[in-house]
Structure 1
């Protein structure tokens, strides 16, 4: 189960080696799913973009938070239920595919559902927020506070969700990561006996894996860097860590722990006076593993994250310029 931005591509460009590695996964007989919190694009459009980047994908390989939200609504209200939509084409298409009726007339609706949609009108937001305040159920595709754009990070759908929730005094049912509906929907659609969530974000991908009780692989090609990793509480810690997707094909040995010192593959990490130091040599993957082990042990003991300001992670092949 692959997150997209930060795992498969960054800034609209495929990460070096990703396409070949995903082909190797398929050749091993493993089911692949591309899992996205973005509710604005249909699975067909997501798959088309992946193919444009050289990554083989079909619409059936893609599962979106829009599909998960539609499933939540259908399970709760049944086929043919009428819902008020605040969102784009991806969410509207997912609702129709589940047999739900989309309306602009709030008097006919049994619930409000929202997803990222740059053309959503303020007057519609006002009407929906009032209905939610007055008791109408509310389902949100996701609560991501930011969204990447050509001009940098911009406010995401989560900003709208927060605005509505604060006005109405109501917490929505959330479909996207880290909530479990999207994870459950992916497993249901794609199948597999031992799901593995592969992501770059601790608070969506890794926390989402914890939510449904499956293993996770954190890759260091996206938004999680050293400071975030050493600060991770147990609910945000991955099962496995790798600099990139090559970690799918490698053994993941566990560092040896001796008090505040963790050792693996020639690397030794130790916490003294809440400062982490690392010495030795070896693979970049093992460096990240000893750092995580030593840091998390110190965090669990002291309640405070260690100081890593003096550390510079080793750079894996294909990751020049990333930390």
Structure 2
């Protein structure tokens, strides 16, 4: 039986939660999230809802979460717009004009940081900040191009190429950033995940001594945690897949792995990537061979497989017995695989 001090909620004082794919899918909360967030608060954990989306104000995000029965206050929401504005405020003196390519929420964050938001290039514009906005058009990009070519500091709130919606993946801020890269030959500084500023801002706002990042994307959430020097938990309710986890490079590897966010009230030792009781994984002929020594838990097998895959560089898998074959099929790694050896 696990000791109380082994619980995830005991090892970390703040939980930095990604939203889409981790807390909700579109307009629907992922089952168990609301209750888990409530239990975390009861245990004294601080919670931050962290989003790369710069188009919505923290109050609007919090309101959406409350509409899903998830307790949230505006002060608990950390956006890439906040991180971008903070990055600018660290570089520029108060009152400096900043050209904003983005939504009114981004304008508000720039002004809250003590800078002057403008929409046109001109004398005195020292920086351009760019965030997702459905109204962004050629005129906005043209003004930004003029300012960047004149030497303005360029900050992108995030570089996500796509944005998940009910209609599927649509162009995200990264697609608009690419247009300016092409037009100017310049590279922006990035505030959102996978860069470190957003997660560091979120952790600081929670006064965290030790924060845990929870997310469903290896290339943004987990990579952002690695860049910020924070531990992370990858969940399988969104983009991450077992195959993707096996192939993850050092910059995209989580410390923990779970089916969903409800694992935050479980023992951390049960979630850690690495050797697992009940499974034996070895390298044979350039592939990972799994054998059950009593377990049928597919997620535990995945934790063991990832540990050896990351150590050895091998990602092809095989099963040494029927239990392992069934677990691999459940993970989508070797569907219907027959036992070997």
What is the number of equivalent residue pairs in this alignment?
307
Note the C-alpha offset of 1:314. Answer: 5.4
Distance in 1, Cα, partners of 2:296 & 2:317: 22
The yes-or-no answer on 1:96 pairing with 2:106 is: no
1:69-218 superposed matches below 5 A: 69-108=84-123, 109-218=125-234
The yes-or-no answer on 1:37 pairing with 2:37 is: no
Distance in 1, Cα, partners of 2:93 & 2:255: 37
What SS class does the counterpart of residue 160 from structure 1 fall into?
helix
Mapped contact 1:271–1:295 kept (Cα < 8 A) = no
Q: Which runs of 4+ in 1 moved over 2 A?
A: 249-257, 267-285, 304-315
- Flag the 1:187–1:255 CA change in 2: closer, same or farther, 3 A: closer
What SS class does the counterpart of residue 32 from structure 1 fall into?
strand
Distance in 1, Cα, partners of 2:166 & 2:270: 40
Q: Deviations over 1:3-53 (max 9, x none)?
A: 001110123211110100111111000110001000000000100000001
Q: Which residue of 2 is the match for residue 320 of structure 1? A: none
Q: Which residue of 1 is the match for residue 307 of structure 2? A: 293
- Flag the 1:305–1:282 CA change in 2: closer, same or farther, 3 A: closer
What SS class does the counterpart of residue 85 from structure 1 fall into?
strand
Unaligned runs of 5+ in 2: 1-15, 320-324, 333-341
Q: Which residue of 1 is the match for residue 316 of structure 2? A: 306
Normalising by structure 1, report the TM-score: 0.88
Q: Which residue of 1 is the match for residue 236 of structure 2? A: 220
Distance in 2, Cα, partners of 1:87 & 1:150: 22
- Flag the 1:181–1:47 CA change in 2: closer, same or farther, 3 A: same
Mapped contact 2:101–2:119 kept (Cα < 8 A) = no
Distance in 1, Cα, partners of 2:318 & 2:158: 32
- Aligned with 1:266 (options 270, 273, 278): 278
What SS class does the counterpart of residue 183 from structure 2 fall into?
helix
The yes-or-no answer on 1:15 pairing with 2:25 is: no
Note the C-alpha offset of 1:284. Answer: 4.1
- Flag the 1:284–1:275 CA change in 2: closer, same or farther, 3 A: same
Q: Deviations over 1:51-93 (max 9, x none)?
A: 0011100000000000000111111112211111111122112
Distance in 1, Cα, partners of 2:141 & 2:170: 19
Note the C-alpha offset of 1:256. Answer: 12
Unaligned runs of 5+ in 1: 316-323
Q: Which residue of 2 is the match for residue 321 of structure 1? A: none
RMSD over aligned CA atoms reads 2.3
- Flag the 1:284–1:56 CA change in 2: closer, same or farther, 3 A: farther
Mapped contact 1:138–1:172 kept (Cα < 8 A) = yes
